[in-house]
Structure 1
Amino acid sequence: MLNSQSGMITPHTAPFWHATLALCLGSFMVFANLYVTQPLLPMISEQFAVSPLHSSVSFTISTLTLGISLLFYGPLSDAIGRKGIMLLTMVGITLTTASLALASSYQSLLLLRALQGFFLAGLPAIAVAYMSDEFNADALMIAVGIYISGNSLGGIGGRLLGGFLGENLGLTGTFACMALLSLLLTLAFAWLLPKSQHFAAKPLRAKPMLRQLWAHLANKRLLLSYLIGGLSFFIFVNQYSYITFVLKDNPYSLSAQYIGLLFLTYLSGTYASAISGKLGKRFSQPNCMMAGTVIIMLGSGVTLIPSLYAIILGLLINAFGFFLTHSTASSWVSLNAQGGKASASSLYLTFYYVGASTGGIYLSIFWQQAQWTGVVIGSWLMLLVILWLGFQLQIMHKRLVTTT
């Protein structure tokens, strides 16, 4: 049922679960397609005769075009609506994934992955704005945490499928199976997601759009959360890229299938996302962001122990810390944006995915000097910066609470 006073969706009602499930399924599809190549990087390197750093571009080029495209979809959805754009971009994902099965050269694979990134941006740019339109404040905090759990499950699922299918069917079979899965999830999304009831269209004009983006950047509470989310992903996701090469070599010598299983460590992040709303209410969201950052620092240190079990434990800790930080930062943006919630969320995700696409370059400097130990040292240096940003945000939050 809906809230009788405002007409907004309230927690734990049928519309709440229909909308949340649809967005989680769409999120799973998006992130499964985005991350499917990550456990296959050693295989891509061998099949196309490119270096490890160049093979990782098949992953980062999608995150880059995704991040840039987010700036387009947010304002567009503010003007013409939410559900239709999300659905059309999911169709685009399905078609590009099917085309990847036919890629015969590394150049064509990169071109298709870049195009796929453009379509992958549609749902992440709009989903939280849809929830902001339709859900009341309590439902929003809960739904955002569950939705980001869907993100993490998509990341896990894509990597598991990539490892398993790649090992048994090769790259062509992997992309063909992903295309079929994407089609089924698109149909489920179209059926489950309720139509927007509270969307208020705004004219799509370049100058007001740019002014709105600038206003978000000028809002220090938003800017700090953008930097926290972007720099956290800058470190977290690229650690996984480098650890695949560590585990492929001696003394571990893991195949793509077993490297894919490594991403089950994301499950701790799924749990962290689901409880982030409750923790944010109890301890404040900036404090949760700082706690998540400290947890990532701890987990990164654990991975230095020369044991496969220690590496797995460290990555479990990292995933919990990262998704706690990311979930609370994303929710913070939606709650603190002064109008233009879709563009505010899109700008957050632009920082987030541009961070993902550039963090590998930063960590490669440390990798070349000291391999995995260097990656951990480089991670710690950046995580200290993130911790300082979270502290500044907490100071602002205290001042706001005091004045109100």
Structure 2
Amino acid sequence: MIDAHSRAWWRATLALSLGSFLVFLNLYAVQPLLPELHRVHGVSTLVANLAMSLATLSLAAALLVFGPLSDAIGRGGIMRLTLLAAGGLSLVQGLAPNFEVLLSLRVLQGFVLGGLPAVAIAWMGDEFERSAMLPAVGLYIAANSLGGIAGRVIGGWVAEVAGIPASFLTVGSLTLVGVALFWRLLPAARGFAPRRFRLSEALGDLAGHLRQPDLRGAYLLGGLNFLVFINLYSYLTFRLSAAPFSLDARWLGLLFLTYLGGTLGSSLSGRLARRAAPPTCMALGTLLLAAGMAMTLAPSLAVILVGLTLAAFGFFLAHSMASGWVGRRARGARGSASALYLVFYYLGASLGGLWLEPFWRAGAWPGVLVGGGLVLVVTLTLAWRLRRWAAAEPSTQGMAEASASSPQTSARRSERPQADL
């Protein structure tokens, strides 16, 4: 097992963070282009947003495939090959003749982009010591936000200077260079124990995860928070592209530099987890997300940017905690447990437009914030319930430790993964 902050830990964490960066570089490069797609193709805001939501929906579906599959055949090959395919599809999108073909390619790309997120945290669970897990997850998720920033900034600026096709070609070329480096950096797996794939067992694993209240709460919390957060940015591009702000694609891309707040929130999550229970940190992150959203009501662009930075910090803090919680609490089949978290996560992103569009039509930007606020009330309730569960856990653990004094019990425990890994 790999110890925290060893040379092998840094190499593996760098490789997985680079892979995470490339996934979100490709996924979000289209987001600052939504107003331009809306204008050029004459489609509604909801249809333009399909370039994002369909990709995230197919990514969510892919997680149900790659997670269980990785438990059977290994994780490294899945990550390498799907990243390579994602870069190639970005290049092909640059040649798309119309909006319908672009959407089809985005659906296919979303599916292959699911390969790395489905298995990366499970790879860490196989290879890292427990003490190495949380800081690695924090850096990995920080790379999510950096990839999202880079995709949006590069996508917006290149599209404004050279057109939308050039934006996809640039992102695809950068991805292929990054894949070559990822391929070289990722260490060979040593802790992975393959399981023969059986559909009935895979479905049983998923059902077992859903029966765990501590996992189920984290799944819902992550998905509902992401429903609000990612679509907050999507609808804000429509608001800021109109008067009185009238920002073009270049400046809308720079808007996503506020994700740096999320990078900070993710990277600090490991330290915060040593001072407070993860559910408490999830609740804190959700409250900061709500506070940042409220600040975007201001008519000042500067205040809006501060609010977005605060919202990003809070969201990624909660996401890091929820994701790491799942990776450590899963009782076996970590690949499918982590994949199921991300299924909920990206389903939230995909369904957010359907939830928020009526609020946008009825009340414009204030309406979007009302719709998002209603969802955050639910996620705060979930965090509170997880906190109560975690507070009750020490007594349960004490009973388990007392019963573990016999050799038979110790042997049985050594044969299965522990819930708090």
Alignment TM-score, normalising by the size of structure 1: 0.97
2:153 equivalent to 1:153: no
| Residue 47 of structure 1, CA deviation | 2.0
Cα distance, 1:403 vs structure 2: 2.6
SS in 1 for 2:163: helix
- How far is the alpha carbon of 1:49 from its aligned partner? 1.9
| Structure 1 residues 23-62: aligned runs within 5 Å | 23-62=16-55
Q: Give runs of aligned pairs for residues 5-404 of structure 1, distance below 5 A.
A: 8-404=1-397
How far residue 310 of structure 1 moved from its aligned partner, in angstroms, is 1.2
What per-residue deviation string (whole Å, max 9, x for no partner) do you get for residues 20-67 of structure 1?
111111111100100000000011112222122111101110000001
**1:315-344: CA deviation from partner (whole Å, max 9, x where unpaired):** 011000000000000000011000000100
- Provide the C-alpha distance between the structure 1 equivalents of 2:365 and 2:52, rounded to a whole number of angstroms: 20
Equivalents in 1 of 2:162, 2:115: separation in Å?
29
| Structure 1 runs, 4 residues or longer, greater than 3 Å off | none
CA distance in 2, matches of 1:105, 1:255: 22
SS of 1:79's equivalent in the other structure is helix
Deviation at 1:278, TM superposition (A): 1.5
Q: Distance in 2 between matches of 1:139 and 1:372?
A: 42
1:282 aligns to what SS in structure 2?
coil
Residue type at the aligned position of 1:163 = G
The CA deviation at 1:365 is: 1.2
Cα shift at 1:297 = 1.1
Matches of 1:219 and 1:166, distance apart in 2 = 46
Identity value in percent? 47
User: Which amino acid in structure 1 is aligned with residue 324 of structure 2?
Assistant: S
Amino acid at match of 1:136: E
Q: What amino acid is aligned across from residue 395 of structure 1 in structure 2?
A: R
Matches of 2:184 and 2:390, distance apart in 1: 40
CA distance, structure 2, for counterparts of residue 301 and residue 102 of structure 1: 40
Q: What whole-Å deviation, never above 9, does each CA across 1:114-157 have from its counterpart, x for those lacking one?
A: 00011000000010011111110111111000000000100111
Tell me the CA shift for residue 171 of structure 1. Answer: 1.0
* Distance in 1 of aligned mates of 2:37 and 2:394: 51
Give the secondary-structure state (helix, strand or coil) at the position aligned to 2:60. Answer: helix
1:246-272, Cα deviation, whole Å (9 max, x unpaired): 100111111100010010000011011
Distance in 1 between residues matched to 2:274 and 2:217, nearest whole Å: 19
Deviation at 1:401, TM superposition (A): 1.9
The whole-number CA distance in structure 2 between the counterparts of 1:205 and 1:143 is 31
Question: Aligned-pair RMSD on alpha carbons?
Answer: 0.7
1: distance between equivalents of 2:123 and 2:189?
A: 8
After TM superposition, give the deviation of residue 402 of structure 1 in Å.
2.9
Cα deviation, residue 376, structure 1: 0.8
Alpha-carbon deviation of 1:231?
0.2
* Residues in 2 aligned to 1:162 and 1:277: alpha-carbon distance in whole angstroms: 31
Q: Which amino acid aligns with 2:309?
A: L
Which range is displaced more, 225-234 or 95-104? 95-104
Find the aligned partners of 1:378 and 1:248 in 2 and give their Cα distance: 21
Gaps of 5+ in 2: 398-421
Superposition deviation, residue 361 in structure 1: 1.1
Q: How big is the shift at 1:277?
A: 1.3
Amino acid at match of 2:385: Q
Residue segments in structure 1 that go unaligned for 5+ positions in a row: 1-7
Which letter maps to 1:342? G
Per-residue displacement from partner, 1:184-240 (whole Å, max 9, x unpaired)?
010000000100011100001000100000000000000000000000000000000
**Helix, strand or coil: the match of 1:104?**
coil
Aligned counterpart, 2:419: none
